[in-house]
Homo-oligomer: A and B are copies of this chain.
Amino acid sequence: MLLSKSCIYGLRASLYLASQKSEGYTPIRKMSEDLEISFHFLTKIMQQLTADELLESFKGPNGGVRLKKSGDEITFMDIVMAIDGPALFTECALGLPGCGVEKPCPFHEQWAETRDNIKEMMEGTTINELAIKGKEENLRLTAKGGFEKFLQLE
């Protein structure tokens, strides 16, 4: 699996937040229901993103979480790094410690090129870009429902 479950949920939740019209906070309970993710598990993931300054949170009635910066300034990679960390982009595909240009494994060359492609793709993709695409084409963020399900009416 490329990304952990936590990371996948964090990405879905970030797209959800980027698609919200209102500037206000969105309660995690509502997100967990819309996205069909366990509330407590999602809460932990939102805490990680909040600790990493990608989100900000507010306690109490009308509280919740929201993006701390514009969705244009948050990349797919930002979320991946915050939750899964850099391992995917630094570690040897054959699991050898310290594999790199100085002490490569036989597969290093191929993997270094490929993972740089993955990296560039993730760095070049913003969550706003994905959220806009999702809204325009009514794409999915859950097993079933379309995107419109998440658009906050005001």
Contact = CB atoms under 8 A, between A and B. Distances in A.
A143 B97 CA distance: 6
Number of chain copies forming the complex: 2
A65 interface: no
A29 interface: no
A136 B87 CA distance: 29
A3 interface: yes
Contacts of A11: 94, 107
Interface of A: 1-3, 5, 8, 11-12, 15, 76, 87-88, 91, 93-99, 103-108, 110, 113-114, 117-118, 121, 125, 130-131, 133-134, 139-143, 147
26 contacts: A1-B1, A1-B87, A1-B88, A2-B2, A2-B88, A2-B93, A3-B93, A8-B93, A8-B95, A76-B107, A76-B110, A94-B141, A96-B141, A96-B142, A96-B143, A97-B143, A99-B140, A103-B140, A105-B134, A106-B134, A107-B125, A108-B139, A110-B121, A110-B125, A114-B118, A118-B118
